Chain A
Amino acid sequence: MSAVAESPRAAWLGATARILLPVLLALVAGGLILLILGKDPLEYYGFVVQRGLLTWAGLQESITRSAPLLLIAAGLIIAFRAGIWNLGVDGQFLLSAVAASALAPALAGSLPDWLVLLLSCLLAFAVGALWSVIPAILKARYGINEIITSLMMSFLGISFANVLVKLAFRDPATTVPQTVTLPVEDRLLRLFGNTINLGIVIALAAVVLVHLMMTRTAFGLKLQVVGANPRAALHAGLPVGRLTIATFALSAGFAGLAGAVEVVGVLGTIRADWNPAYGLLVVPLVFLARFNGWAVIAFVFAFAVLQIGGESAARRIGVPHFYVLVLVGLLLLFLAVVEYLDHLRRQRRGQ
């Protein structure tokens, strides 16, 4: 908020520019890299939009892909608003996915489908939350930087998930190590076409609920106070340590739920060494949206289109999907630069 009053229209324009400028700059800089590598950036971007958004099959895939990304984003909104860097999302996601893929097929058949799916999701949430306990306690009790600890737990969790798939939950009927497959008819309800499933509804509801929780409830407000100024929160009598642990658990729980939705909605099984590494990719999107749930939905969908389109472009145009990583890095970089320039502008006007 600037000290000098801006007209609402100018403020709105400014906010839009601050959001769209980094995207534009990242796309242009990324395009230059493609040009250097001898690929036509316009052809690439055109193909991505065409394949990820404008065909019915691609659109369905993009919507389906949005579900786990949105759930991860919901968790990150909580963490970032509370000033916690939960960068261990990938480990939380993968371990929970493996847990769900072990539980669901074991129960399917003996319990009603809705109960199996519910239990799988609850288990995944709990596993994700559990995997965040160590970084949370180290942060709450000793002030150890949670970026490092959550990342370490993430690397640990990814390897551990592989161990579980290969040694504990391996389907003896398959040659490639993978968990027992959940039959298609026992998975999450399909909507509209043949790929979109109930996961997207769960994910949208989660983002909206998280947004409302953080902006409209006393609990959310407390977390925001801790995020804005932990020392002030402590002076105000807030149990900062306990809130930190709760933040971590919720944030990691949603990452876990994302894993469950991917398993019981889309994949049905987890193969060894599968790791989509969504975690760090969602971070810039949540920042770009300024932790606002509604904006997160828009950005995550746009990113899903980029991912789905980019996966086909890898085959068709020969630009590997690593390019998406470059774009995400550039996006985060330009986001910081634009934010900085805006800060300077406000300062100058304030004086």
Chain B
Amino acid sequence: MDAFLSEAFLTALLYGAMTAGVPLLLAGLGEQISEKAGVLNIGLEGMMLLGAYAGFVAAYYSGSFWLGFLGGGLGGLALAALMALLCVRLGMNQIVIGIALTIGAEGLTALLHHFQFARSYPRLDEVPVLALPGLEEIPVLGPALFRHHALVYLAVLLVPLLAWLYRRSAIGLNLEAAGNKPGALDAAGVSVTRTRVSAVLATGFLAGLGGAYMANVGAGLFVPFMTGGDGFIAIVLAMLARGRPVWVIFGALLFGISLALTTALQVTGVNVPTDVVQMLPFAMVILVLVIFARHSVLPPALGLPYVRGDR
């Protein structure tokens, strides 16, 4: 069993965990913003998927990874705008709309992919990597953690940034109030609707960005239904993180590892049906939920539309 501790295995596992974890991190951080503001965004999976498609299309036609990421973010943002209009402005049921958006995005992206790419299945070029000088020399950790696209480092930097925002800024305070006591925020003269709409839009952009990373970097191409439940895992991450961004990154890494195990095991030559490994992240989510069930905390006004004067 030495193979499991070999350098190649550990490097492949950690590298894979980072690649699989970044979409979860971005989408999870995004979901956290919405949940703080009191909007349960069940459409996250759809936003990731549309982001993956739009991101791939943008990168494929422009030839630029950065434009691809921007396209992906805008794709997620577009779906989020629809959700903000229907659920926040008009107060429709967040769960029904979330499911509708996810199903619709699944169908639409698969349909568009069929007409555009199903014959050729084009791939993107090799991802340009920003190796952090010095750090990349460390054995195992260097090639696994410090040779990624620049977006990965930005995603990690987002964690302290958001943590600061939540704790020290008026924006963070407003978000928290919109989720905990929307009436109080309203009384203080800040629009609950505007706060929540901004939160949902930010969620959509981040989820789309995560989807685009998954397509453009993780796979190098768009495949229908490629998010395969990652959006829902990200919702769980946000639920368990109890509003703290740093827990999202731990969770994303943990689930990233279980997602990456398939590829890493192939390095060692161990042959397990992929289905066994595919069960891991979901089994992990259930296990974590069973163990920490009591501790997952969501804002009291989550999922409820805000109507001024309602009790």
The reply to whether A163 and B104 form a contact with Cβ atoms under 8 Å apart is no
The reply to whether A320 and B110 form a contact with Cβ atoms under 8 Å apart is yes
Complex formed: what's the CA distance from A159 to B298 in Å?
Answer: 29
List the A residue with the shortest CB-CB distance to B93. A336
List the A residue with the shortest CB-CB distance to B97. A336
| Interface size, B (range) | 35 or more
Q: Is A241 an interface residue (CB 8 A)?
A: no
List the 8 closest A-B pairs by CB distance, nearest first. A329-B104, A325-B107, A332-B100, A326-B107, A322-B110, A329-B103, A156-B282, A162-B275
User: With A138-B290, A325-B104, A329-B104 known to touch, is A148 a contact of B239 (CB < 8 Å)?
Assistant: yes
The reply to whether A336 and B86 form a contact with Cβ atoms under 8 Å apart is yes
Complex formed: what's the CA distance from A283 to B96 in Å?
Answer: 9
**A binding-site residues for B, Cβ under 8 Å:** 33, 37, 85, 87, 134, 138, 141-142, 144-145, 147-149, 151-153, 155-156, 159-160, 162-163, 166-167, 280-281, 283-284, 287, 320, 322-330, 332-333, 335-337, 339-340
Complex formed: what's the CA distance from A156 to B236 in Å?
Answer: 15
B232 nearest CB across to chain A (Å): 5
The reply to whether A336 and B276 form a contact with Cβ atoms under 8 Å apart is no
- Among B93, B95, B285, the residue within 8 A (CB) of A147 is B95
> Which residues does chain A contribute within 8 Å of B95, judged by CB atoms?
85, 147
The reply to whether A325 and B106 form a contact with Cβ atoms under 8 Å apart is yes
The reply to whether A328 and B286 form a contact with Cβ atoms under 8 Å apart is no
The reply to whether A163 and B275 form a contact with Cβ atoms under 8 Å apart is yes
The reply to whether B92 and A336 form a contact with Cβ atoms under 8 Å apart is yes
Complex formed: what's the CA distance from A142 to B240 in Å?
Answer: 13
A299 nearest CB across to chain B (Å): 16
User: With A284-B100, A333-B100 known to touch, is A163 a contact of B107 (CB < 8 Å)?
Assistant: no
A33 nearest CB across to chain B (Å): 8
A149 nearest CB across to chain B (Å): 6
The reply to whether B99 and A166 form a contact with Cβ atoms under 8 Å apart is no
The reply to whether B110 and A337 form a contact with Cβ atoms under 8 Å apart is no
* 7 A-B pairs whose Cβ atoms sit less than 8 Å apart in the complex: A144-B293, A152-B233, A159-B279, A160-B275, A287-B96, A325-B110, A326-B111
> Which residues does chain B contribute within 8 Å of A163, judged by CB atoms?
273, 275-276, 279
The reply to whether B86 and A152 form a contact with Cβ atoms under 8 Å apart is no
The reply to whether A328 and B103 form a contact with Cβ atoms under 8 Å apart is yes
- Among B96, B107, B235, B282, the residue within 8 A (CB) of A324 is B107
> Which residues does chain B contribute within 8 Å of A152, judged by CB atoms?
229, 232-233, 236, 282, 285-286, 289
A42 nearest CB across to chain B (Å): 18
